[in-house]
Amino acid sequence: MKTLTALSESVMDLDLRTPDPETEQEIPHTGVANDHHADGSRIGSLFDANRLDHFIEKDGQRFAGTHLIIDLWDASRLDELGHVEESLRQATEAAGATLLNIDLHYFTPNGGVSGVAVLAESHISIHTWPECGYAAIDIFMCGDAEPSKAIGVLETSFSPGSIEVGEHRRGVIG
């Protein structure tokens, strides 16, 4: 039984079916509130050990992902569309994430760039103000991706005079 669209399967190679712990047969997630495993736990619930949600377990917490808020000051090349795109590609690769699409917009007359790299693990977005040497970047990733590894790529790409990084765990459930 197919549980994903052909596009999702080809792009992300994911399978959202859950094996029944007793029979090892796959049970599709239907979203119906009373779908339960044989042990009584609800299929797809946040506490289902068989759930393939790509939540992270770290330092005794379970959470959806890590969100980095990054400010680059006195940065360069913020008005170069091709350079911004390549920097997003390299940051994605450094973090061990899967790039699905990049969409960027170039603003005139100041040359600012806004856009997003859509990832299987979530996204990297960027908004630049080249006239101020400033870029606002956020990186949100779940699963095995390591968003902090993208920071070095951004520093190399944009040569900021200073960088500020904030980290927030999204979707903490325990």
Tell how strand 26-27 and strand 113-119 pair up: unpaired
User: Any idea how long the chain is?
Assistant: 174
Q: What is the pTM of this model?
A: 0.71
132 flagged as catalytic: no
The SS3 call for residue 54 is coil
The alpha helices in 37-173, defined as continuous H runs, are 81-95, 150-158
127 flagged as catalytic: yes
**CB distance 56 to 145 below 8 Å:** no
41 flagged as catalytic: no
pLDDT tens-digit profile, the chain (174 residues): 233 333 333 333 434 444 545 555 544 444 434 454 454 544 455 555 565 668 888 888 888 899 999 999 999 999 999 999 999 999 999 999 999 999 999 999 989 999 999 999 999 999 999 999 999 999 999 988 999 999 999 999 999 999 999 999 999 886
- Please give the DSSP secondary-structure letter assigned to residue 155: H
